[in-house]
């Protein structure tokens, strides 16, 4: 792959980065876990979010799921209700 993937950001992740979408450079064979490591390096404030889910193509993804350049990726922050 050696190119960038687009990641949609919602809720607190959008607030912490100041963006609703970011482009993240990844190498071929990168996983969801690799993506999170890179995002936390680029945006250290994200490391403070303890439970962060990742959706790939509309479905929750496991940390070892491999990513493709055309995947639709979204960070799903924890939600609180009342």
Identify the CATH number of the domain in which residue 28 sits: 3.10.20.30
For residues 67 and 5, the answer to whether their CB atoms sit within 8 Å is: yes
pLDDT of amino acid 41: 95
Question: Whole domain around residue 57: which residue ranges?
Answer: 3-76
pLDDT of amino acid 50: 82
Instruction: Establish if 81 belongs to a structural domain.
Output: no
Question: How do the pLDDT tens digits run along the chain, 82 residues long?
Answer: 577 899 999 999 999 999 999 999 999 899 999 999 999 999 999 999 888 999 999 999 999 999 998 899 999 988 765 5
- Provide, for the chain, the percentages of residues in helix, strand and coil under a 3-state DSSP scheme, each rounded to the nearest 5: 30, 30, 40
Number of domains in the chain: 1
Instruction: Establish if 45 belongs to a structural domain.
Output: yes
The Cα-based distances of 34 to 39, 66, 80 in angstroms read 9, 9, 27
> In whole angstroms, what separates CA 41 from the centre of its chain?
12
């Amino acid at each position: 792959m050696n190119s960038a993937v687009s990641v949609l950001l919602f809720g607190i992740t959008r607030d912490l980065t100041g963006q609703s979408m970011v482009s993240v450079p990844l190498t071929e064979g990168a996983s969801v876990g690799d993506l999170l490591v890179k995002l936390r390096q680029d945006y250290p404030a994200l490391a403070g979010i303890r439970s962060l889910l990742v959706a790939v193509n509309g479905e929750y993804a496991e940390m070892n799921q491999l990513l493709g350049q055309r995947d639709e990726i979204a960070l799903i922050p924890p939600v609180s209700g009342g």
